[in-house]
Amino acid sequence: MFALYKKEIQSFFYSPFAYVLSALFMLIFGFAFVNRIASMQSSVFQFSFPDMFYNNFFYFVFIIPLLTMRSFADERRGGTEVQLLTSPLTITQIVLAKFFAIETVFLFMIALSMFFPVYISLHGTVIWSSLICGYVSFFLWGTVCVAIGMLFSSMQSSPIIAAIIGEIVMEGFLFLDQFAATKMVESYPHLNAVITWFSMQRRFVFFAQGMFRLEDLVFFLTLTVMVLFWIILHIEKRRWSHR
């Protein structure tokens, strides 16, 4: 499993791919940072990093499917899927190795963005408890999206199509709050409760405000595990079809 994880990591960092996506991530983060400075109403610069994540989810969502689109689709397109599926590794090990490799790249991108709070701490004050909660909740949100992106990559032979479908589904999650607030949905309390329960943005807000709720942590982790399990079942079915 570690050998496959290492191979996946090398495929990201031995090519410009990871660096281009990291630069894009930093560009979005940096643009939001500069934009907040430009809109200052006083000489005192006050803002919240969790707010920056929350207000730019729409743009960050475009990066994650690009990270995950090649995970399985490239194997099918390149004809190496059969070799991978007939290797001594179990499907669970294959999925987890690819998942942890993508998570490593995602963590690398998040770590780069720490430049901004460190810079601010040198010229002002950073509320570290809020910052840490914001980063943890953003990482958990991104982890769910990574699993979802891998799921669609496992179903497609084209990385581009996998990325497009992933983008649509992830953007759909961002509009659950607005959809739940419509009069049609509000007229059905049970439906409204179900849709609201799946709102990742709402849970992000609780986390980012320092309100650690076990319910939210369990939601993110459970949803990630469920999607990974779905990927394993889907690939296991295809593995048997090659025998």
Tokens of 140: 């958990």
Give pLDDT tens digits for 52-101.
777 777 788 889 999 999 888 888 887 777 788 778 888 899 999 999 99
Hey, what are 46's tokens?
């006050």
- Report pLDDT for 42: 56
- DSSP classification of residue 158: -
Q: What are phi and psi of 64, to 5 degrees?
A: -65, -45
The Cα–Cα gap between 222 and 18 comes to: 27
User: Is pLDDT larger for residue 177 or for residue 19?
Assistant: 19
DSSP letter string over 157-187? S-HHHHHHHHHHHHHHHHTHHHHHTSHHHHT
48: left (phi over 0), alpha (psi -120 to 50) or beta: beta
Q: Which of 165, 151, 176, 160 is nearest to 231 (CA)?
A: 151
Query: For the chain, what percent of residues have pLDDT higher than 70?
Result: 91
Angle (CA) 19 22 23, round 5°: 85
Residue type for position 81:
E
Short-list 84, 111, 79, 105, CA closest to 95: 84
- Write b or e for each residue in 126-137: b if 16 or more Cβ atoms lie within 10 A of its Cβ, otherwise e: eeeebbebbbeb
- Of 67 and 32, the one with more pLDDT: 67
Residue 242 clears pLDDT 60, i.e. is over it: no
Q: Which is higher by pLDDT, 38 or 201?
A: 201
Q: How far is CA 16 from the centre of its chain?
A: 20
| Contact yes or no for 100/147 (Cβ under 8 A) | no
Q: How far is CA 15 from the centre of its chain?
A: 21
Provide the CB-side half-sphere exposure for 184 (13 A, CA): 2
Q: Which amino acid is at 69?
A: M
Handedness of CA 127, 131, 132, 133 (dihedral sign): positive
- Whole-angstrom Cα distance, residue 28 to residue 92? 34
The predicted model gives 121-135 an average pLDDT of 77
The pLDDT tens digits of the residues spanning 134-167 come to: 888 889 989 999 999 999 999 988 899 999 998 8
Q: What confidence category does residue 204 fall into, taking pLDDT thresholds of 50, 70 and 90?
A: confident
